[in-house]
Amino acid sequence: MTKPLDPEMFDPLCPSDLVPVRVGDKWAGMIIQCLEDGPRRFSELRVPLRNITPKVLTKSLRALERDGFIVRTVHAGPTRHVEYGLTPLGRSLLELVDAARAWAETHLEELITAREDGATGAE
């Protein structure tokens, strides 16, 4: 029999929504990777993230901005445009994102097999 979970294992005063688990969502890690070499425009992000809808990309960018991982800069002038770039806090996540990607590459076959087994109901 396993030991019961401690009901106090998570500090109730710790705002768990601030933990960068958001990086584990479908798009945040990829967006952070896209911004690694410098600020990008929305249309530039859409190129490698071609499977994301504009609405979902906007939502993800806003969440990353709200959490302090990226900054949105509006450039005024005759060709007004907006760019998104990593903040120092966002840049600090690059190592974590790279580690998660390396782990996924190492375990890719296992992940695919597990997903296929789950889809077929195999145990």
Per residue in 69-113, pLDDT (tens digit) is 999 999 998 888 999 999 999 999 999 888 888 888 898 889 889
Checking if the pLDDT of 123 tops 60, the result is: no
- 2 lies in some domain: no
Structure tokens at 16: 């768990």
Return d(Cα 49, Cα 55) in angstroms, integer.
Answer: 13
Other CB atoms within a 10 A radius of the CB of residue 95 amount to: 9
Closest CA to 90 of 34, 47, 42, 14: 34
16-43 average pLDDT score: 77
- 31 lies in some domain: yes
Q: Looking at residue 28, which CATH number applies to its domain?
A: 1.10.10.10
Positive or negative CA dihedral for 40, 31, 68, 102?
A: negative
Residue range(s) defining the domain that contains residue 48: 17-120
Q: Are 82 and 74 in contact (CB under 8 A)?
A: yes
- 79 lies in some domain: yes
Provide the domain count of the chain: 1
- 3 lies in some domain: no
- 4 lies in some domain: no
Checking if the pLDDT of 20 tops 60, the result is: no
- 75 lies in some domain: yes
17-28 average pLDDT score: 61
pLDDT bracket for residue 24 (50, 70, 90) = low
Return d(Cα 48, Cα 121) in angstroms, integer.
Answer: 33
- 27 lies in some domain: yes
- 26 lies in some domain: yes
